[in-house]
Amino acid sequence: MHPAYSVILFTTASGAGYGLLFWIGLAEAFGAMPGGRWIGFAMLTVALALITVGLLASTLHLGHPERALGAFSQWRSSWLSREAVAAVVTYIPAGLLWLVWLAGVDSGATPALGVAAAAGAGVTVYCTGMIYAALRTIRQWHRPVVPVIYLALASGTGALLLGLMMALAGFAVVWTLFAALVSLTAAGLLKLSYWQQNDGDPGRYTAEMATGLGHLGTVRPLDPPHSMPNFVMREMGFSVARKHALTLRRTVLICLFGGPLGLIVLSMFTPYDAGFMAIAVLAAGIGVITERWLFFAEAEHVSMLYYGAARA
């Protein structure tokens, strides 16, 4: 599949934003947010900014962005519509919490708002993952582990951001480091399992099945179906060479998992020093963008069975 940069920006920025919102909401619910309302307000502003930038970027992938409102109409059957509804609903408790902290109102409702915002963040990211996991036409995506990876990566990148901002504010909040450590470790193990599953799956569909000519023997095209590349070939037929994919996987393992995990451990011994966390956030940003690009580039659509692919 062709990696659309707008979708990569959407899934990485909003994923980190929802992960950050998740941890902020839980911290407020359990009284683990230090420094008073202004610290929480600043962090929540960053989370909402990342979410909003990501959601706006997603509209750039639409052929007609003015029709984006139509995405809300099919929530009974479409994971994309459910994601859109969940994203809007999540703004309500998150926005109210933001306003309460801005106004400095002494409200006992903030723990409930924190729980609601955290739940909404989790549901939205799950829906995003299910948009891809529900597609039977792409075997690399049609796996139960895909939405779990989305959740783990959102949790890990969000916890990294929270840990960095806590350190910049001068607070040694070790639980944020443990949250990032556990989330990224889980995401790394899940990603390795995901790659292993994909590498061991040659594809259940064949050209013989697609054409219905299997009873005649092996099917192969005599001529290309088009004299020049068309939309299907550009969007569905994008492929990345195996050697390049392996190099990019190593980049993901180093930048998104290995490097940040090592830096998190070092940060536990210097909890007031934001340097290690800043490098970890930068490395994870490079890693998660690479991971998401590879997620799309390695995907093979069944329509390529009509364009020369033997299996999909």
pLDDT for the residue 63: 66
What amino acid is encoded at 157 in this protein?
A: T
At 212 the three-state DSSP class reads coil
pLDDT recorded at residue 154: 98
Q: 86: closest CA among 49, 127, 115?
A: 127
Q: What is the gyration radius of the CA atoms in the chain, in angstroms?
A: 22
The Cβ of residue 123 has, within 10 Å, a number of other Cβ atoms equal to 18
- Taking only the tens place, the pLDDT of each residue in 54-95 is 998 888 776 666 666 777 888 888 999 999 999 999 999 999
CB 80 within 8 A of CB 71: yes
For the record, the structure tokens of 59 come out as 């509209």
pLDDT of residue 123: 98
Of residues 176, 129, 134, 132, the one with CA closest to residue 149? 129
- pLDDT value at position 20? 98
CATH superfamily, with its number, for domain 5-307: Formate dehydrogenase/DMSO reductase domain (1.20.1630.10)
The angle that helices 275-297 and 259-269 make with each other, rounded to 10 degrees, is 160
Q: How far is CA 170 from CA 35, 39, 123, in A?
A: 9, 11, 32
Taking CA atoms, 136 is separated from 169, 191, 298, in Å, by 46, 20, 15
Predicted confidence at residue 18, as pLDDT, reads: 98
Structure tokens at 171: 């607070």
**Segment 35-58, tens digit of pLDDT:** 778 899 999 999 999 999 999 888
- Write b or e for each residue in 19-44: b if 16 or more Cβ atoms lie within 10 A of its Cβ, otherwise e: bbbbbbbbbbbeeebeeebebbbebb
pLDDT, position 35:
77
For the chain, give the number of residues.
Answer: 312
The pLDDT averaged over each successive group of 10 residues in the chain (312 residues) is 90 97 96 85 97 89 68 86 95 96 86 97 98 95 97 98 93 90 97 96 84 82 76 82 91 97 91 88 97 95 85 80
Q: Which two tokens stand for residue 312?
A: 């999909």
What's the pLDDT at 201?
Answer: 87
pTM here is: 0.93
For the chain, the domains span 5-307
